[in-house]
Structure 1
Amino acid sequence: MRKKKCTMSIPTIIECFQMGMTSNEIALQANVTARYINSVLQQHNVERQPHSSWLRRYTVNENYFKTWSASMAYVLGFFAADGCLPKDLQLVSFSQKDPKILEDIREELQSTHPIKTNPRTGVHLLNISSKIMKEDLMKLHGMSPKKSTILEFPYVPEEYLSHFVRGFFDGDGNINYKKRTVSFVGGSQTFMEHLKKRLERYSFEPFIVSKEKYHRLFLSGRKTVYHFGQWIYKDKNLYIERKHLEFNREKLPPDQIKDRPFKAHKSAIEARKLKLLYYYNLYRDFPEACKSANIGINTFYRWISTDEEFQLKFNSICNEKKI
């Protein structure tokens, strides 16, 4: 009878306990007795260290997300990429493979919560128990549980946009210095499209490539990548050092940095192909796509006859058009 009453799965019960909830609190949410919860924990050999109130022993600036600042914008951007709001817990969770940035964020939040490591994945976790902080992230900034595919781009004042983008880049971005590309990845097309529009105001010429459940936003070109790095790291505070160092590999003086001609730059050619596919998928009009991507008809026909992968991608879009 108890198993039929229980509204939580056993993995969820164990996860709640490990995040700091007491047996009584879990029992109340799961519609069972604390005795049943304790028996589940015992049967699955869950370590019963005295941490029933560990989250409450720690402190944090619960009103942190109420006031805009450069650092708050960064943390919000980082959370948009690598944060989580468990549905049934008053918890704000950050995850990252780089523990140093979590330490910096913890200090910024004036938190004394511990950073733990998932032994199975090696990912580091900063779990903060705060109903106020969770509600602010949801009500003031539009974050939500299971936000990966439905995330909306939050309101970000223009003066803090570069800091927000740097935070999101540190969470879900990548720089390939050799190929002179910067990319972002996310599950929400709405978020990516809005990010694209915001970056276009700074003449970065971003473009999006969507594949299955993920959407990638690209910036390409030596000069573009350089100026993007200058923009996001201006007046920097919080940042992941290893990513910052990649931008610093540029040795030429600013006035000598130029994007190579497309024909001499393999990665740029690939970027142009993706750009054409993006516009064709957007407009479903071949001449308009070529015009928007600044690509000649003869160039397109050369690609379609010599690049099998490009041909497959283009035909895939054509087939979708017919459905």
Structure 2
Amino acid sequence: MRKKKCTMSIPKIIERFQSGMSSKEIALQANVTARYINSVLQQNNVARQPHSSWLRRYSVNEDYFKTWSASMAYVLGFFAADGCLPKNLQMVSFSQKDPKILEDIREELQSTHPIKTNPRTGVHLLNISSKIMKEDLIQLHGMTPKKSTSLEFPYVPEEYFSHFVRGFFDGDGNINFEKRTVSFVGGSQTFMEHLKKKLERYSFEPFIVSKEKYHRLFLSGRKTVHNFGQWIYKDKNLYIVRKHIEFNREKMPPDQLKDRPFKVNKSAIKARKLELLYHYNLNGDLPVACKSANIGINTFYRWLKNDGEFQFKFNSISSEK
């Protein structure tokens, strides 16, 4: 078997161990085994601490996810997007390119754990050692160690739903002010479909475009984007400042805002065609697919007549049914 190449220098390994990281944590970052890390520490006469004593260096409110609040809903939404539960470690991990929001979350969790940076990716990491917190995320909120493609939508009290969505948006969302679109991306089709249905209850008109292993949920239109921003930032507490600034670029009075029809936006039309095909492939029922994609049957037949690529894709799906 080919040996793994260590991606971390020996001085760096020693430094991270002495700062409180476990051998397993260092091994994951260095692309080697914990056994190799322990061997390096032993060869360099690094003083070893009693088993698990390093965990007590840092503190955290381990019961944080037991009680609902606006801030807890945000952190849960953020974790659903950018969080991780390492399978073999009693740890809760947050990652983000923006270190400021991790600092805010750390303060909210009453944590003293350090925020570290992955030297290869530049992504900032907040790793919190807590068996209780990990178990609460799994048992109370349905999070799993491998949640990217199988995450179920958690129960969120209605009064905190906008905060949860803001957290998820800050983790896996984007706003394109010039194109007047808001989008979310996720690997779990179940989660994205549920989010779509929930947002529809708030009079938004989201649509999903699926490609390979990822599903993108879009909100489109000048008025829609403005209203969405007003909704998620009402009574805001935690949030990423640069994303909030993008929503504030709108200078037109709210009563004058209008959504452009989809027909003037080629990319939006393409996205709607893909959404219809997605729903048709899902259930094989054209009227149901049109209803799910919010597309009139006459519009469908016009696309079928005038768009050869759309016709080919639709017929390919039909032939498999």
1 CA distance for matches of 2:41 and 2:313?
Answer: 50
Mean CA deviation greater in 240-249 or 103-112: 240-249
Change in Cα spacing, 1:296 to 1:98, as seen in structure 2 (3 Å) is same
1 CA distance for matches of 2:47 and 2:274?
Answer: 53
Match of 1:29 in 2: none
**TM-score normalised according to structure 2 size:** 0.82
1:249 matched to 2:255: no
**Alignment map for 1:145-160 (pairs within 5 Å):** 145-160=145-160
Match of 2:134 in 1: 134
Q: Structure 1, residues 30-67: CA drift from partner, whole Å, max 9, x if none? A: xx9x9876326678x9x969788544211111111111
Q: Helix, strand or coil for the counterpart of 2:314?
A: helix
Mean CA deviation greater in 164-173 or 302-311: 302-311
Q: Helix, strand or coil for the counterpart of 2:175?
A: strand
Match of 2:234 in 1: 234
2 CA distance for matches of 1:49 and 1:196?
Answer: 53
CA contact (8 A) 2:23 2:37 kept: no
2 CA distance for matches of 1:286 and 1:303?
Answer: 14
Q: CA deviation at 1:242?
A: 1.3
2 CA distance for matches of 1:233 and 1:268?
Answer: 26
Change in Cα spacing, 1:261 to 1:205, as seen in structure 2 (3 Å) is closer
**Alignment map for 1:88-127 (pairs within 5 Å):** 88-127=88-127
1 CA distance for matches of 2:312 and 2:242?
Answer: 36
Match of 1:195 in 2: 195
Q: CA deviation at 1:87?
A: 1.0
Q: Structure 1, residues 219-252: CA drift from partner, whole Å, max 9, x if none? A: 1122111111111111111111111111112111
1 CA distance for matches of 2:305 and 2:141?
Answer: 48
Q: Helix, strand or coil for the counterpart of 2:231?
A: helix
Match of 2:170 in 1: 170
Match of 1:6 in 2: none
CA contact (8 A) 2:210 2:275 kept: no
Change in Cα spacing, 1:57 to 1:185, as seen in structure 2 (3 Å) is same
CA contact (8 A) 1:196 1:207 kept: yes
1:221 matched to 2:221: yes
2 CA distance for matches of 1:49 and 1:181?
Answer: 54
Match of 2:184 in 1: 184
Q: CA deviation at 1:283?
A: 3.6
Q: CA deviation at 1:263?
A: 2.8
2 CA distance for matches of 1:49 and 1:180?
Answer: 57
**TM-score normalised according to structure 1 size:** 0.82
**Alignment map for 1:39-78 (pairs within 5 Å):** 39=39, 53-78=53-78
Q: Helix, strand or coil for the counterpart of 1:61?
A: coil
Change in Cα spacing, 1:266 to 1:132, as seen in structure 2 (3 Å) is same
Structure 2: runs of 5 or more not aligned:
7-12, 28-32
1 CA distance for matches of 2:189 and 2:302?
Answer: 31
CA contact (8 A) 1:220 1:271 kept: no
CA contact (8 A) 2:20 2:57 kept: no
Match of 1:20 in 2: 21
1:211 matched to 2:205: no
1 CA distance for matches of 2:113 and 2:135?
Answer: 19
Match of 2:264 in 1: 264
Change in Cα spacing, 1:10 to 1:20, as seen in structure 2 (3 Å) is farther
C-alpha RMSD of matched pairs (Å) = 3.2
2 CA distance for matches of 1:312 and 1:123?
Answer: 42
Q: CA deviation at 1:276?
A: 2.5
What amino acid is aligned across from residue 212 of structure 1 in structure 2? E
Q: CA deviation at 1:183?
A: 1.3
What amino acid is aligned across from residue 21 of structure 1 in structure 2? S
2 CA distance for matches of 1:310 and 1:240?
Answer: 39
2 CA distance for matches of 1:154 and 1:35?
Answer: 37
Structure 1: runs of 5 or more not aligned:
4-8, 27-31
1 CA distance for matches of 2:20 and 2:206?
Answer: 39
1 CA distance for matches of 2:317 and 2:20?
Answer: 45
2 CA distance for matches of 1:105 and 1:135?
Answer: 19
Q: CA deviation at 1:264?
A: 2.6
2 CA distance for matches of 1:244 and 1:49?
Answer: 47
Q: How many residues align?
A: 301
1 CA distance for matches of 2:289 and 2:53?
Answer: 59
